[in-house]
Amino acid sequence: MQINNSFSGQNYLPYAVGLIEGYVRKYASQAERFEFLLPIYKRQRVSETVEQLLSADVVGFSTYVWNVKLSLAVARELKARKPEILIVFGGPQVPDRTETFLRENPFVDVAVNGEGEHAFVKLLEVWPSRDWAGIANLSYLKDGAFVCQAKGPRIRELADVPSPYLDGIFAPLMAANPAENWIVLWETNRGCPFQCTFCDWGSATQAKVFQFDIDRLGREIAWFADNKIEFIFCCDANFGILARDIQIAETLARTKAERGYPKAVSVQNTKNATDRAYLTQKILSDAGMNKGVTLSMQSLDPGTLKAIKRQNIALDTYEELQRRFTRDRVETYSDLILGLPGETYDSWVDGICWLMDNGQHNRIQFNNLSILPNAEMGDPAYQEKYGMRTVVTKIVNIHGAIETDPDGIYETQDLVVETGSMPAAEWRRARSFAWMASLVHFDKLLQIPILVAHKRCAVAYRRLLEAFMQVDVAEYPVIGSIRSFFEDYARQIQQGAVEYVFSDKWLGIHWPADEYVFIDLVVNGRLGEFYSEAERLVVSTVRESRSLVPLETISDAFRLNRALVKEPGVLADIEVRLGSDLYPYYRAILEGRTEELIEEPVSYRIERSKEPWPVFADWCREVVWYGNKKGAYLYGNKALARHLAGHF
């Protein structure tokens, strides 16, 4: 049983249990003894799952944060219905500190710590005996005493691990579910040389990176094309860390060009290998196989990077990658994690603004820190050292619908909502600042005037963004109400609310708080008031900076940005006359180019009729939701015609 998240009606083939089955079939001394039932791969009623598993003698559960509650519920009921059944738990959610887990869940007979292929074979070979002495990686209770076998060596020769794709392991499952839209998990290597304390990769793989055979990987890519697999999630911790990853990227791109599949691949970029990270991602981007390149910063504070053991990851790598991708017009996304030890409100805000100064104007993904059991951060002593306080919250996917589980089983996470360096009030303030930065800059509602005020008037990004957090609500009622909403929802999260705001009226999904506000401004007819207040606020901030740039330029930037925003039900073309040619100046900033602002009257005709949004639900989905990755909130070059003075 390996339950993975479903996405838009697509389900992952259960890769981990496919590896286990393939390994047993190849290496068990009497493999013919064993018959494998079809694996359980998606969420369903506990009773239904138990019925499917009752005929088994041994059931293995591959667990992670998105399936552990359901897995435990199934195991509990299964053991109650069939006490003699052998229940084995593995996967990253089995804690290295296993004794408490086993005592709290006595229906679990044995737990596997670390790689499971070899341990599961050995366990089956002694079945039905329960004498597991000497089998590495196993933990269990025997006559009330806790037994923890030493960890065995990792599999160094990954060529010895059968491919569940190439060896036909999934053929029966796929044949039994012909209507399923399958997506896949894929490894090209195992291991991670980094030891980030919030991640369980380093502790799980003990640093050394081992490689799957390059010819096997090529054949697997062909298998994906043969089976019309649209999406691959690459499980490598650092794609691009090896020189051969360029060849793998080229094979993916060539296969898509020649055969149409696979259509997209998601990879975790390597941290330090600048040239290879650039080349692999550029190849995938040019092939249209990713929606953008993720540059995972997590934090820019030196003290925080030391506390989470990322000080060996050079920031200038990210700086150079951002420059290259910006130059080549490849969209990037930066990741920051809120709640890391050592991070303060000031360092958090400075990190956001550093990324913007370095050219990140497409998207920063502001993630909330949650605790994984086998990460170093999962150690209670580590949490105590850094004053980390957590709250249990239900896991929901960004833009995910409410999942009504008939058994009332929901997966949860331990979310960090306070640290010694970021007390509860400061966490709310930092979380609210991130939402405000997303709304005004990354959702592009005010991106043009913010960039113009920064570049032309030399006003710091921090000063511009914090102005929105410090308004007098009596003077700026709309902006003030947005700030209050962000602060209130941050408080709700600290009290156990989910991370995203649900709306049953707007597609029935969970929205990031900034996108929820964007829609709310449109639905309630407050977008005009918002722009009016924002212009007064930014003009006031620029005036305080004593900039010599005419304030009319800022006002023009607001008029242009307002006219370019895609809105539902706004179908007529519009003409905007400005005192300077702002649009190419704005695009040059986004693309990392230096271009002088032409200060001549200009007329822009925005042809909104070429891309109308008459249906509100379509606008919500395709502009606001999909804009989270594509950033296409504004009408662009194809819908915009411009004429300089004397030419219109």
Percent of the chain surpassing pLDDT 70: 96
Q: What is the pLDDT of residue 7?
A: 75
In a domain, 173, yes or no: no
Does 137 lie in the same domain as 81? yes
Q: Which helix (H) or strand (E) holds 202?
A: helix 201-205
In a domain, 78, yes or no: yes
- Averaged pLDDT, 365-378: 94
Q: Cβ neighbours of residue 374 under 8 Å, at least 6 residues apart?
A: 92, 95, 96, 200, 203, 204
- pLDDT over 70 (residue 382): yes
Does 191 lie in the same domain as 110? no
Q: What is the pLDDT of residue 647?
A: 39
> Residue 233 is which amino acid?
F
Q: What is the pLDDT of residue 637?
A: 66
Q: Report the distance separating Cα 580 and Cα 601, nearest Å.
A: 5
- Residue 624 contacts residue 516 (beta carbons within 8 Å): no
Three-state DSSP at 577 gives strand
Does 127 lie in the same domain as 78? yes
Does 261 lie in the same domain as 186? yes
Does 140 lie in the same domain as 44? yes
- Residue 91 contacts residue 64 (beta carbons within 8 Å): yes
Residue 387 structure tokens: 């004053």
- pLDDT over 90 (residue 315): no
Q: Report the distance separating Cα 52 and Cα 39, nearest Å.
A: 9
First-to-last CA distance in the chain? 67
Does 204 lie in the same domain as 141? no
Between 119-133, 193-207, 251-265, the lowest mean confidence (pLDDT) is in: 193-207
- pLDDT over 50 (residue 646): no
Q: Report the distance separating Cα 588 and Cα 353, nearest Å.
A: 19
Q: What is the pLDDT of residue 269?
A: 80
Does 205 lie in the same domain as 121? no
Distances (CA, A) of 20 to 192, 202, 591: 22, 22, 47
Structural domain harbouring 248? 180-292
Between 106-115, 528-537, 540-549, 619-628, the lowest mean confidence (pLDDT) is in: 540-549
Burial class of residue 97 in the structure, from the number of CB atoms within 10 Å of its CB (0-12 exposed, 13-18 middle, 19+ buried): middle
- Averaged pLDDT, 457-466: 96
- pLDDT over 60 (residue 235): yes
Q: Report the distance separating Cα 579 and Cα 127, nearest Å.
A: 82
Q: What is the pLDDT of residue 15?
A: 97
In a domain, 488, yes or no: no
Q: What angle do CA 36, 40, 45 make, to 5 degrees?
A: 135
Distances (CA, A) of 47 to 61, 63, 280, 391, 410: 16, 19, 46, 30, 16
Distances (CA, A) of 448 to 259, 366, 563, 628: 41, 22, 11, 18
Cis before 14? omega within 30: no
Would you give the distance in Å from CA 247 to the centre of its chain? 26
Residue 186 structure tokens: 């894929």
Q: What pLDDT band is residue 272 in, cutting at 50, 70 and 90?
A: low
Q: What is the pLDDT of residue 628?
A: 81
Q: Which helix (H) or strand (E) holds 211?
A: strand 210-211
Q: What is the pLDDT of residue 318?
A: 79
For residue 511, the 8-state DSSP code is: E
> Quick count: other Cβ atoms within 10 Å of Cβ 33?
11
> Residue 34 is which amino acid?
F
Cis before 128? omega within 30: yes
Q: Report the distance separating Cα 351 and Cα 340, nearest Å.
A: 13
In a domain, 256, yes or no: yes
Find where tokens 């609500």 sit: 473
Runs of H (alpha helix) within 358-439: 380-385, 424-437
Decide which of 148, 168, 202 is a domain's last residue. Answer: 148
**If you average pLDDT over every residue of the chain, what do you get?**
92
Q: Report the distance separating Cα 368 and Cα 335, nearest Å.
A: 11
- pLDDT over 50 (residue 10): yes
- Averaged pLDDT, 129-136: 92
Residue 491 structure tokens: 């408080």
Residue 556 structure tokens: 């023009």
Find where tokens 């989905």 sit: 621
Q: Greater confidence, 63 or 547?
A: 63
Does 242 lie in the same domain as 142? no
Antiparallel, parallel or unpaired: β 138-142 and 145-148: antiparallel
Q: What is the pLDDT of residue 497?
A: 97
Antiparallel, parallel or unpaired: β 640-644 and 389-394: unpaired
Q: Where are the beta strands (DSSP E) in 91-169?
A: 110-112, 138-142, 145-148
Does 191 lie in the same domain as 98? no
Antiparallel, parallel or unpaired: β 574-578 and 509-511: unpaired
- In tens, the pLDDT along 343-363 reads 999 999 999 999 999 999 999
Q: What is the number of structural domains in the chain?
A: 2
Between 225-239, 283-297, 498-512, 566-580, the lowest mean confidence (pLDDT) is in: 283-297
Q: Where are the beta strands (DSSP E) in 259-311?
A: 264-266, 293-298
Q: Which helix (H) or strand (E) holds 119?
A: helix 117-125
Helix-strand-coil percent breakdown of the chain, rounded to 5? 45, 15, 40
- Residue 184 contacts residue 164 (beta carbons within 8 Å): no
Q: What is the pLDDT of residue 528?
A: 96
- Residue 364 contacts residue 336 (beta carbons within 8 Å): yes
Residue 340 structure tokens: 């890391």
Q: What is the pLDDT of residue 648?
A: 36
Antiparallel, parallel or unpaired: β 264-266 and 231-234: parallel
For residue 467, the 8-state DSSP code is: H
Does 187 lie in the same domain as 112? no
Decide which of 258, 292, 326 is a domain's last residue. Answer: 292
Order of strands across the sheet that contains 145-148: 58-62, 86-90, 110-112, 138-142, 145-148
- In tens, the pLDDT along 593-612 reads 888 999 899 999 999 998 99
In a domain, 103, yes or no: yes
In a domain, 309, yes or no: no
Does 282 lie in the same domain as 202? yes
Each residue of 62-82: b (16+ CB within 10 Å) or e?
Answer: bbbbbbbbbbbbbbbbbbeeb
Q: What CATH number did the domain enclosing 201 receive? A: 3.30.750.210
Q: What pLDDT band is residue 73 in, cutting at 50, 70 and 90?
A: very high
CA dihedral sign, ordered 215, 216, 220, 226? positive
Residue 530 structure tokens: 């918002």
473: left (phi over 0), alpha (psi -120 to 50) or beta: alpha
- Averaged pLDDT, 83-91: 97
Q: pTM (2 decimals)?
A: 0.92
- In tens, the pLDDT along 148-184 reads 999 888 888 888 999 999 999 999 999 999 999 999 9
> Residue 509 is which amino acid?
I
> Quick count: other Cβ atoms within 10 Å of Cβ 131?
8
- In tens, the pLDDT along 390-424 reads 999 999 989 988 877 889 999 999 999 999 999 99
In a domain, 610, yes or no: no
Q: What CATH number did the domain enclosing 55 receive? A: 3.40.50.280
Distances (CA, A) of 214 to 248, 289, 418: 8, 20, 45
- Residue 373 contacts residue 414 (beta carbons within 8 Å): no
In a domain, 249, yes or no: yes
Burial class of residue 380 in the structure, from the number of CB atoms within 10 Å of its CB (0-12 exposed, 13-18 middle, 19+ buried): exposed
Q: What is the pLDDT of residue 441?
A: 97
Distances (CA, A) of 429 to 128, 298, 338, 417: 57, 18, 11, 11
Does 184 lie in the same domain as 131? no
Would you give the distance in Å from CA 289 to the centre of its chain? 17
Q: What is the pLDDT of residue 111?
A: 97
Decide which of 125, 148, 171 is a domain's last residue. Answer: 148
Would you give the distance in Å from CA 426 to the centre of its chain? 24
Q: Which helix (H) or strand (E) holds 231?
A: strand 231-234
Q: Report the distance separating Cα 469 and Cα 527, nearest Å.
A: 18
- Residue 159 contacts residue 211 (beta carbons within 8 Å): no
